[in-house]
Structure 1
Amino acid sequence: MFETLTAFTESLPTWLQWLGVALIGAIPFVESYLGSAIGVFVGVPPAAAIAAAVAGNIVSTLAVIFGVHSIRRRVVAGREPERPSPRRERIRRLFDRYGVAGVSLIGPTVLAGQITSGMMISFGASRRLVVIWQIVAIIAWGLLFGVLATIGVDLVSGR
């Protein structure tokens, strides 16, 4: 998959490669961290690669957050809460333990940010907090991997 995404970005005209990086950043499980790295590997300037991957990831994550929030609001309106499954209870305990900030920052090591966001909203987390912490996490992960990719490219190329 990494090769395919890299080939896709390389196939674009140089002046449009940042858009390819933004599209890659919007893909769950690729997100800002791999999107920024792919951008750097392809030759997009690091700042542009990181910004594009972060922007793509933020747009797709916000779409999920607002969509799930809207659906949840309609589903729970006037409805009796049902007994959650053991698996959902376990996830809820983890959410209660680490909170929105912890799940947002650590979540990308386990699940896509879009999935994590949707789960937190489904648990009744504040949409505002989920948006804030997901944006913080997306920026942090994108910067980390973009900087690491830049260092790696510099080491390999002998700069």
Structure 2
Amino acid sequence: MGVLELLWAYIVVFVLAALPFFEAYGVIALSIFAGLPEIPVILISLFGNILTVLLLILFIDRIKEWRRKRKGEKVEKQPSKRALRAQNLWKKYGLPGLALIGPLFVGSHLTAFMSVTLGGQKKSTSIWMIISITVWGVVFALLSHFGVDFLGYEDRGILRDIIQND
């Protein structure tokens, strides 16, 4: 893989990790399976995901105001299943529990949004979200690394091998 191709791959990794519902841990796993170097992928994915979550927390008040205006002062009907899961996690485990468990079920962006909405302080939510994103990123990186190693694909990407065999 050339330098330019690698640069574009890293840009895609960053953008995907920064997007809501494309979590860093998922992007890390896919990138490792694709054969990209692990350490840069982990760092770039974590940075992309953490950056957008911190921006969301920083501008949460403006985002809530935008959502309220967009809905036109409508009274919300029933909370979504995701919101109910987040509320249950909050009641049972508080901010640390929601921050650590939430990204696996509802994504890190929605978890951060719900954490602040349910009463978490911005600073505490930021710290717990950074911890959570980092922990899950490292866990999935290790699982992916050993999975690739176990399958015998340590020198070439699984996805690249599948594509080339077709």
* Shorter-chain TM band: 0.7 to 0.9
The answer on 1:21 being equivalent to 2:16 is no
Instruction: Report the CA distance between 1:85 and its aligned residue.
Output: 7.0
TM-score when scaled to structure 2?
Answer: 0.72
Contact 1:25–1:57, Cα closer than 8 Å, also in 2 = yes
Partner of 1:77: none
Partner of 1:44: 36
The answer on 1:139 being equivalent to 2:134 is yes
**Pairwise CA RMSD of aligned residues?**
2.8
Unpaired runs of 5+ residues, structure 1, are 1-11, 75-82
Distance (Å, rounded) in 2 between the aligned partners of 1:127 and 1:108:
17
CA distance 1:99–1:127, change in 2 (3 Å): same
CA distance 1:30–1:149, change in 2 (3 Å): same
TM-score when scaled to structure 1?
Answer: 0.75
Partner of 1:123: 118
What is the one-letter code of the residue matched to 2:29? A
Point out the more displaced range, 31-40 or 84-93: 84-93
Question: Secondary structure in 2 aligned to 1:13?
Answer: helix
Q: Deviations over 1:34-58 (max 9, x none)?
A: 1111121222211111111111100
Count residues in correspondence. 141
Q: 1:153 aligns with which of 133, 148, 162?
A: 148
Unpaired runs of 5+ residues, structure 2, are 67-74, 155-166
CA distance 1:90–1:102, change in 2 (3 Å): closer
Contact 2:86–2:102, Cα closer than 8 Å, also in 1 = no
Matches within 5 A, 1:32-111: 32-71=24-63, 87=79, 91-92=86-87, 94-111=89-106
